[in-house]
Structure 1
């Protein structure tokens, strides 16, 4: 365990208060942006694989499989986020690489349904509000984005891999 997590017993506090534990939020915004870039590369690879599979499926179904091309963009990123963020790690591969994880407001781990709703709200807010979606984090003590505030989630550091 790192010093960050030695001082915190989530079973006792259950609150990730930035005034009590500011070290949990150090550099979270930058790490989150970097994590998104890593995840974006992974999602592009997954979408490329999906494109190839659908192309061959379309050939074998006389073109009917090509109707699935429209689903690649919305489905792959949402499923990727749902299954990785909603896992027991509470983090996507990019988030794990950057040493951060997402928690519920009371310190609990993410679960699949919450990760699904989080992914849908994230992609909706990015589509509608980009680049303003990041501005909300400048005024939030937990450096949360709008969809984090709506869902009651927060991103914290986890440099040791666990809390």
Structure 2
């Protein structure tokens, strides 16, 4: 009886290890998480923000290097703060984005963006995900009284916050 119980325990332990070893990570593209961002907008100038990506595992197809995500971007330009929500699709190192300002007062503040995803090593040899983004807002400030022209555009760099 003792031999049977110890054999059963060893078998269960090996199953738990094998299941643990073959479990796939939630986001093998390493996009999901929190980022700090700095950027420059054609109308608003310099800005900072916090970007949060959440993976949509059901829509993603990681075997084909495709990831689907939702995100929020909390941006601060001077003393003015805004929150944008959106969707993103990653294929390898490319990321496409659609976003819109969550404020009801900004119905035309929406746009598209693209980013290059890089995984750079820090001074300790750990990999950090960085997004090098460009975006376009076709209607932003189109009817501005200042006459700044149609649409907005900008660039930003977002670095994943690494919890150590």
TM-score higher than 0.5 here? Answer: no
When you count helix as a share of all residues, which structure comes out higher?
A: 1
- More contact order relative to length (CA 8 Å, sep ≥ 6): 1
Between structure 1 and structure 2, the one with the greater Rg is 2
What interval of TM-score do these two structures reach, taking the shorter chain for normalisation?
A: under 0.3
When you count strand as a share of all residues, which structure comes out higher?
A: 2
TM-score (structure 2 length as normaliser): 0.26
TM-score (structure 1 length as normaliser): 0.27
